[in-house]
Amino acid sequence: MWARWWGGGGSAVGRRGRAWSLQELKAEWLPSPRHRHNLGISFRCPVHEGHRLTIRFVNPYDGEKSIDGPGILAYVVSNGMLSKLTLITPAGGDALDFNKQGFGECGRYRLYDGHLHRIRF
């Protein structure tokens, strides 16, 4: 599925819009309670200044339940490095919709191979 959509590569620019590396967006792991690790990520909004977007993992690396809090939920389908992170939604799609996070029109994205790709529908 991913190879067909992305043309088989880890291109930094998707077919439907701009892409940013998670490093460029200053991505960070979410603070974790009880010494848990890699429960989700937050990063600068690529559209608006002054706020961060949050993704909580449905399937955290430690095998326990997802944490509660703001942000959207997504499944991790890659290894634990931010530079190679790939996510899908709980519904099985790959469009992460940040338009409903209370910040206005932040956009819809795919997170593939450590890059956030802007998509337009």
pLDDT band (50, 70, 90) for residue 5: very low
The domain total for the chain is 1
What is the rounded average pLDDT of the residues 12-38?
A: 78
According to the model, what pLDDT value does residue 44 have?
93
Contacts 24+ apart (CB under 8 A), 46-50: 46/18, 46/20, 46/107, 46/116, 46/118, 47/105, 47/106, 47/107, 48/103, 48/104, 48/106
Domain of residue 90 covers: 2-6+13-119
Q: How confident is the model at residue 3 (pLDDT cuts 50, 70, 90)?
A: very low
Q: How far apart are alpha carbons 115 and 84 in whole angstroms?
A: 8
Identify which has the larger pLDDT, 72 or 10: 72
Tell me the pTM.
0.77
31-81 tens-digit pLDDT: 877 788 888 999 999 888 888 999 998 988 778 888 888 888 888 888 778
